[in-house]
Structure 1
C-alpha cells in the first residue's frame, strides 16, 4: 500500500525567488521549522531539569507535538494540517512506546524518556535541516 501522490510533497522543492541567492531563498528560510524544532529539544531538557512550576507546560507541549512531527516530516506530507495531525498522533504513540519499553525493562526514568524522545526528533530532523526543507 503506497501513499497517494497528492499527499506527498514533490521531491525537488520548488524554490521561491530570493534576492541574494538568485532563485532560492536563504538557508535560514528554507530550514526555519526544522531548526526551531531541533533547538527546542535541548531547551525542553533544560527546563525539565529545573525545579520550576512552569516547566510542565513546555515539556508536555514538546512531547505531544515535536517527535511525531519530526518523523512525519521525513515522509514529506504536503498538507500542513495533515502533517500536524499525524505528528500529534505519532508523538503520543512514540511517547507511549518509549515509556512502555522502559517500564518493561525496569529502567523507567522520566528524564531518560524525554531524552530518548529528543534524540528521536533530532535524528529525524537532521536530514530535513541538511537539505533545507521548508
Structure 2
C-alpha cells in the first residue's frame, strides 16, 4: 500500500495527473499505512497492538475469554456495540488514545457530517430514478 500511495503522489506531483484527486488520496494512504504509527487505530486497537499481558488480562476478564489477542478480537467481533464501547472506554482509561485518522473518521464520517466514500462519484439525480427491472 505504501508503494501505491507513493505512486499516486508521484503521478499527482511529477506528472500533474489529476493532482486535486490523487494528492489527497495518496497522502491519506501514506498516513494510514505508516508502520507502527497507529494513526488509523482506535484506543482499543492500540491496546491490543501493544500486547501488554496485564492489560490484555483485564480486557479478557471483561469479555470472559482467554487473554490472548486473537481470542479477544474474536470476542469483540461477537460482542454487543455497548460492550465494544465499554472496552474502548476502558482502553482510554488505561492511557491509550485513538489515532488522528480514527478520530477524523469518528467525528466526520461516523457522525454523518462528511459523506461516506461510497457516495463519491454519484450523480445528483440518481436517487430520483426508478429501479431497473
Please say which structure displays the higher CA radius of gyration: 2
> Which structure exhibits the higher relative contact order, with contacts defined as CA atoms closer than 8 Å and separated by 6 or more residues?
1
User: Greater helix share, 1 or 2?
Assistant: 1
Both structures adopt the same fold (TM-score exceeding 0.5): no
Q: TM-score, normalised by structure 2?
A: 0.23
